Amino acid sequence: MSKHIGNKDEALPGGKAGKKEIRRINKAREVIRQAIAQACFRNQLKNQPDELALPPA
């Protein structure tokens, strides 16, 4: 039988370092998404065309 993995960090391929990297990437992706959404919202309020028409990351 295989060893039971009780720790979530052990279950990840990168361990704790991989978990930190995933969190860092997710936070950066969220900041970009929010900046695009805010710019689009401001442009809608001013009745201007969207300047940031980027695809989602």
Contact 19, 12 (CB under 8 A): yes
1-51: pLDDT as tens digits: 566 666 776 677 777 888 889 899 999 999 999 998 888 877 766 665 555
pLDDT for position 18 = 85
| Cα torsion angle, 7, 12, 14, 18, sign | negative
Of 52 and 39, more confident: 39
